[in-house]
Amino acid sequence: MLSRRRHNFLPGLICLALLLAGCAGLWPGHTRPLSAHVVNISDEYANINTDLSEQRLAAAGITHGSTFQARLRQQRIEVMLGKGYKDVERGEWVGLIEEDGALQIAISFGHAATVLECAVGDTLFITPIRRP
Examine residue 44 and state whether it is found in any structural domain, yes or no: yes
Give how many domains the chain has, as a whole number. Answer: 1
pLDDT at 6 (0 to 100): 52
Range of the domain at 114: 30-128
Domain-embedded: residue 57:
yes
Which CATH number covers residue 113?
Answer: 2.40.30.90
Residue 32's pLDDT is 86
Domain assignment of residue 18, yes or no: no
Per-residue pLDDT tens digits for 77-126: 999 999 999 999 999 999 999 999 999 999 999 999 999 999 999 999 99
Evaluate whether residue 71 is within a structural domain.
Answer: yes
Judge whether residue 129 has pLDDT over 60: yes
Q: Which residues contact 110 (CB under 8 A, 6 or more apart)?
A: 45, 91
Residue 25 lies inside a defined structural domain of this protein: no
For residue 62, is it within any domain?
A: yes
For residues 58-76, give the mean pLDDT.
Answer: 96
> Could you tell me if residue 12 is inside a domain?
no
Is 110 among the domain residues? yes
Beta carbons within 8 Å of 33's beta carbon, 6+ residues apart: 71, 125, 126, 127
**pLDDT score of 7:** 55
CB 106 within 8 A of CB 41: no
Q: What is residue 31's predicted lDDT score, i.e. its pLDDT?
A: 66
Q: Could you read off the pLDDT of 20-40 as tens digits, one per residue? A: 444 444 444 556 899 999 999
Average pLDDT over every residue of 40-65: 96
